Structure 1
Amino acid sequence: MDFWLVVSLLGGLVTALIVLSNFIPSSPPRRSLLQNPLKPDTRWQLDRMERKLDLILEHLGIQLDATEFDVILAEVPPTHKISVIKTVRELTSLRLKDAKELVESAPVLLQTRSPLEKATTIKRHLEEAGAIVTITPHL
């Protein structure tokens, strides 16, 4: 299969993932304060898209030996917004206003072309703060 066709398929899947995540409501329905504030549908949809992408790549016989990765801030639950903003400020050295706008505009590309160790460190810090983060190979 042609390399550029595969690249366009991957780009289409990433675009579909971002568009899909924009249609998910930003606040969970008000039922109970004891319920999980994270939207389980969002995590499930992200996992499903990643599995589909892995299956397509495996079927085509393509192995991604990426050395550069992108960190995507997928979702920030309202209950953890302040701690995520503080963590984003520490990781990116942004001003408070800029960090707040960045967090509120999730899903957003937070870091691009970073090594795997740095990307996983960023993901770990943000998940400890309460955000949902994905790491994708930079194409």
Structure 2
Amino acid sequence: MEILLSAALVILAVFLVSTRSRSSSREAAIERKLDLVMRHLGIEDPAADSPDVLGPLMQGQKIQAIKVYREQTGASLAEAKAAVEQIARNKGL
């Protein structure tokens, strides 16, 4: 009985991991396409020019800038970190 339960849990875990990886790769593909469209249309991320993000970033408070970016955009932690780092590079910070 314990072996069957363990096997069922392993199968469930494998299923959940494979479902998540497909979803995250699909989300990443959609994000890349959206970024391309925005770049083509000359649309910039509104949070990139936000003084609430730039202020802390210019003071060397990257974590605070990431927090504000997340609050303004609803981005995940990884997305916000990447975006704030890109903003810093674009602004020469």
What's the TM-score, normalizing by structure 2?
0.42
Could you say which structure has the greater relative contact order, defined with CA pairs below 8 angstroms and 6 or more residues apart?
Answer: 1
- Higher share of residues assigned strand: 1
- Higher share of residues assigned helix: 2
What's the TM-score, normalizing by structure 1?
0.31
Tell me which structure has the larger Cα radius of gyration. 2
